[in-house]
Chains A and B, each alone.
Chain A
Amino acid sequence: MALIELHQVTKTYGQGHKAVQALKPTNFKLMPSEFLAITGPSGSGKTTLLTIIGHLQQASSGSIQVNGQDTSTYSTKQLTKLRFNEFGFILQASNLIPFLTVSDQFKLVDRLTTKGKLSQTPTALLDLLGIGDLKDKFPNQLSGGERQRVAIARALYNDPDIILADEPTASLDTSRALQTVGILAQVAHDLHRGVIMITHDTKLLGDTDGVYDMRDGQLTQIK
């Protein structure tokens, strides 16, 4: 079963003659252990697609299924819960809470999760990502690469099935960027999660299982 499946999903901003179709009818599927990338120029609609997949905004038409469940009738509260339980977000800007230490970012998840015992401890995740010694640091004490790796660990911690990464390497140099993409591939292949990464950097597509190109709201599979 697909982790996420989009059927004829569109997104239009505005109404009447001012309407702009940011996303043309799109079909998309993400399977477990799959690492997919979406590329394309700025303003092409990549983030619009990602935010619709992550249920941060609603599609104008079409249907979305998460683990086989149609989410179109979900309330705001159900959508918030869905985001917390099923999705891990890694954003362009650091999505870490600035006043929490690295270990406190995980403690917050512990306080909010309804999943009981999680499959990995924060220590194991941080060690896996090579940042085990940063537990007591605040986000502003970390480098860009370290912050992104903490964000990946934080995104994985609540055992989400789907990881959504929006330009996760935007603030990193090439070697750090390749290393981060390698970690995302590892997450998909070794931890059996589905990963969708948005990037405009074609050098980072080597480890992916599929690549889509987005141009003027039109999604096309190119690999």
Chain B
Amino acid sequence: MFLATKEIWHNKMRYGLIIVTIFLTAYLIFFLTGLAVGLGRNNRTAIDQWPAQQIVLSNYANQSLVASTITPQQVQAAGLTQKGTPMGQTSVVVKAQGKSAKIDGTLFGIRWNSFIAPKLTAGRLPRQTNEVVVDDGLLAAEISRGDKITLNGSKTLYKIVGVTHDNRFYTVPVIFTNLSTFRQQRYGSDNVNNISAIVLRHKTTLKGDDLVQVSKAALINHIPGYTAQVATFGLMIGAMILIIFLTIGIFMYILTIQKISLYGIMRAQGIGNRTIVGALFSQILLVSLLGVVLAVLALGLTHAVMPAKVPFYSNWWLTLILGALNVLIALLGGAISLPKILKVDPLAAIGGD
């Protein structure tokens, strides 16, 4: 560490630029990964929150919640009358009373006492038919708790009495209502007793073949566009990470090779490989750690200033894994030059005839 810190301190500009380079590339990885993960999550967080294993859908919906309709007769025929909890899903446009902004949302009609009722971050659960709970993503616009809203231009006004977090489906915030409101919105009448799905805590046996039960993962993968979107962003981010990591690795290799003559002098003086290699790796570790720590700080700052409507998400585990990979690849870049360092000829430092 003595040699490593002395060299960094002596060549402040050079190592400062290297730290800035690692900081920028690590931040780019964190930021773009955060956007891709955020967008992916926005499709599914409402489903992720269900403490459920299986979801029963119409067999004709191709495992897609948005395409599923289940009639009361199908529920009865499948023997599901007493099992799970029903839910309905439909797309809505939300508009607050007296305000102009229209916001896309997804309506989840549920029973308030069921196990898929949302956890509230503010307010209370509805007590009356025209009360709703909304995801806080909806509050980013002109809407706030206590406001009255219309759904798809409805004459009925619905009061926002509760707020929940991380409840998005198909990238838009979820508006939780009772099943009656869902039926009004989806079928134009609450006399139609259809639902979209039955959510089950555990797998069950279904009678007949009108209905099918799918896992949460399958349900998520059949959200329209989700799999293609995740695969596309995954490939883009993966390729970017690979290229950046290769660049950092090559960068570290070149940096090390440039110092071969210095290692020759050290070897001539009788300084062992252990000291030389230790100095090299502690230097790479210091420089890459500093760059990654700066990138993590910048990520924290990004989190603080990022508008809520931007689908940005990062967590400590993801950041830790990407940061650790960054440091590891930098060390690997140094390691590639290891054979050259170990074989460095001290005679090269001597010169002469």
Contact = CB atoms under 8 A, between A and B. Distances in A.
A42 B10 contact: no
A97 B353 contact: no
Interface stretch (B99-107, B146-154, B166-174, B260-268): B260-268
Contacts of A91: 265, 268, 349-351
Contacts, number: 84
Of B2, B3, B267, B352, chain A has the most CB atoms within 10 Å of the CB of B352
Query: B interface, how many residues as a size bin?
Result: 20 to 34
B5 to A, nearest CB: 10
A124 to B, nearest CB: 21
B262 A46 contact: no
A2 interface: no
Interface in B324-352: 346-347, 349-352
Interface stretch (A76-84, A171-179, A205-213): A76-84
B351 A43 contact: no
A51 interface: yes
A56 B2 contact: no
Contacts of B6: 99-100, 104
A166 B270 CA distance: 16
Q: For the side of the interface on A, what is the size category?
A: 35 or more
Interface of B (DSSP majority class)? helix
A50 B347 CA distance: 11
A107 to B, nearest CB: 7
A169 interface: no
B268 A42 contact: no
A84 B271 contact: yes
A199 B265 CA distance: 20
A4 B275 CA distance: 27
B258 interface: no
B273 interface: yes
A117 B10 CA distance: 28
B7 interface: yes
Interface string B163-193: 0000000000000000000000000000000
Contact of B350 (A51, A87, A100, A112): A51
Interface in A159-214: 166-167, 198
A80 B2 contact: no
Given A44-B353, A45-B353, A47-B352, A77 B347 contact: no
Residue among B268, B270, B271 facing the most chain A CB atoms (10 A cut-off): B270
B270 to A, nearest CB: 3
B268 A92 contact: no
A44 to B, nearest CB: 6
B82 interface: no
Interface of B: 2-3, 6-7, 9-11, 262, 265-273, 275, 346-347, 349-353
Given A80-B267, A91-B268, A100-B3, 6 more contacts: A44-B353, A80-B270, A91-B349, A98-B262, A99-B7, A104-B6
16 contacts: A50-B352, A80-B267, A80-B272, A81-B270, A89-B268, A89-B269, A91-B349, A92-B350, A95-B269, A97-B266, A98-B262, A99-B11, A104-B6, A111-B2, A138-B10, A198-B352
Interface of A: 42-48, 50-51, 54, 56-57, 77, 80-85, 87, 89, 91-93, 95, 97-100, 104, 107-108, 111-112, 138, 166-167, 198
